[in-house]
Structure 1
Amino acid sequence: MTPTLDPHERLRAALNVQGGDSSDFDLNPNLELPQQRQLRPAAVLVAFDESGQLVLTKRSARLKHHPGQIAFPGGKVEAGETLIEAGLREAQEEVGLNSDQVEILGLLPPHETVTAFLATPVLALIKGEFHPIPEAGEVDEVFRVPFDHIADPANYRIESRRWQGTRRSFYVVPYGPYYIWGATARMLRGLAERLCA
């Protein structure tokens, strides 16, 4: 009988699985994208605590872009920053996670968003107890999702809605009252596939 790996060991092993980039357009092959589009680099911190729970945020309902949506801590890469530095800075700003409490495991393949960002997931572990401090005005809530929930591909489903005059399909992975969808769900789906490989 093969011994069961703990969540942290499975996350480390997932980095060694071969796999490509992902996109908000994966499920919409007939959608024509602008040929000259310029993708802006971004980084998101995909951080798991010591019990294996993933830290996510609920964006403020008052924000202009993606109000109320579930997201990883993250944002655009500033001039002179690496992807890892950007992910750590954004996590500090958005949820109060100090970089000295973070162990970086590595980078997952980048993801193209409908908002023309190329977001690279920075896979990480949080060391010790973490008491989040949501950034006022940007983050309404910080919550956690169990590893087993996001690691199981059976928890993901495809839904669709009208977007810019056409029907757009996307992944969702709801958890309790939290409707996790779009880019966040797609990046998690890619991680789940690696965890099960």
Structure 2
Amino acid sequence: MVTTIDRAVIEAALSGAGEASSDFDLNPDFRPTEAAALRAAGVLVALRSHVDGPRLILTKRSSALRHHPGQIAFPGGRVDEGDADPVAAALREAEEEIGLRVENVEVLGGLPTHETVTRFRMYPVLGWVRRDFTPVPEAGEVSEVFEVPLSHVLDPANFHVQSRRWRGQTRSYFTVPYGPYYIWGATARILRSLAERVAS
């Protein structure tokens, strides 16, 4: 069972404003010279109790998607007109993408925003899953729903910076691999922000 200290540590890490992160932190030369409007998106960093310690719920995007096919991601998406705020968007998208009902999530707070190279401002919402549920991947959007021990992504030693060629330039990014899952990019950067806050 998860002890009170587990929840307390996470909640304490969410206190304070913190600094926003960006895909451009490691790649300042990629930042656009002209300011462009950022689209708001809410993502759910969903945690649940487990006998071996808290688990983080992640998704693997469908390989058939046009954008970011096959990548590891949090449930979430852009803020629609009907959403009250990014928190509402994150909860709605989690229900649509993995079958996690809104009433089954206790919102603990949020992490600083993250700006992506695809011009989104992501609002990471930390949520605790109240009861067990059976994930139902959204057809055509999500190919797999899986869990990672929270302890793995809270250990700064598990994060690495790697690089690859993208649009004729070398782009660097954070990774935090787990078993067969290559967690990288914005997802890894947001998790590193959480790990840094827990460690401080």
TM-score interval, smaller chain: over 0.9
- The secondary structure found in structure 1 opposite 2:132 is coil
Q: How many aligned residue pairs are there?
A: 194
TM-superposed deviation, 1:9 = 1.7
- Counterparts of 1:83-162 in structure 2 under 5 Å? 83-162=86-165
Shift of 1:107: 1.5
Q: Is the 8 A contact 1:77 1:86 kept in 2?
A: yes
Structure 1 match to 2:179: 176
1:55 aligns with 2:57: yes
Structure 2: which 5+ residue stretches go unaligned? none
List runs of 5+ in structure 1 lacking aligned partners: none
> In 2, Cα distance between the equivalents of 1:40 and 1:98?
25
Q: Percent sequence identity over matched residues? A: 56
Q: CA RMSD in A?
A: 1.3
Task: Quote the offset at 1:32 in angstroms.
Answer: 3.6
Give the match for residue 70 of structure 1.
72
Q: Specify the code of the residue in structure 2 equivalent to 1:79.
A: E
Q: What TM-score results when the alignment is normalised by the length of structure 2?
A: 0.93
**Contact 1:11/1:195 (8 A) holds in 2:** yes
Q: Deviation at 1:34? A: 3.5
Aligned in 2, Cα 1:40/1:173: closer, same or farther, shift over 3 Å? same
Partner of 2:191: 188
SS of equivalent to 1:97 = coil
Distance apart, 1:130 and its partner CA: 1.8
Contact 1:17 1:194 in 2 (8 A): no
3-state secondary structure, aligned to 1:132 = coil
1:19-30 alignment runs, 5 A limit: 19-30=18-29
Q: Is the 8 A contact 2:111 2:126 kept in 1?
A: yes
**1:118 partner SS:** strand
C-alpha displacement of 1:120: 0.4
- Please tell me whether the aligned partners of residues 75 and 94 of structure 2 are also in contact (alpha carbons under 8 angstroms): yes
